[in-house]
Amino acid sequence: MAWSVLGVARLHHLLATGRMASKSEAGRYVANQLDEQWRPIGLEALRARERPDEPSRYRSANLRGRDVRDFVAWCVADGARLAEETPRWKDRHG
């Protein structure tokens, strides 16, 4: 779960800012800078990475899985939008 969330968050951060973030920084980016709907999965990914012995913030693995799926899908779609709209990416890769 953390690998998926933090990995795509790092790529989204790169497309949004032009700078690659660490995995922990990417989790904080999700929790604090993206839409509020992604905050729970960002905090959960940080918990899993930085404090794996603590219990999950989710009451259900199914709910957590749904949020991971939805976040990854959103990141891919929004990342494609950023790549198309951002001249630094379009010029290099378009």
DSSP assignment string, 31-79: HHHS-GGGHHHHHHHHHHHH-TTSPPS-S-HHHHHHHHHHHHHHHHHHH
pLDDT at 91: 58
pLDDT at 87: 72
pLDDT at 86: 78
pLDDT at 8: 97
Give 23-39 pLDDT, tens digit per residue: 999 999 999 999 999 99
Give 42-58 pLDDT, tens digit per residue: 999 999 999 999 999 99
> What residue numbers bound the domain in which 73 lies?
2-93
Three-state secondary structure call for residue 7: helix
Q: Residue range 52-76: average pLDDT?
A: 97
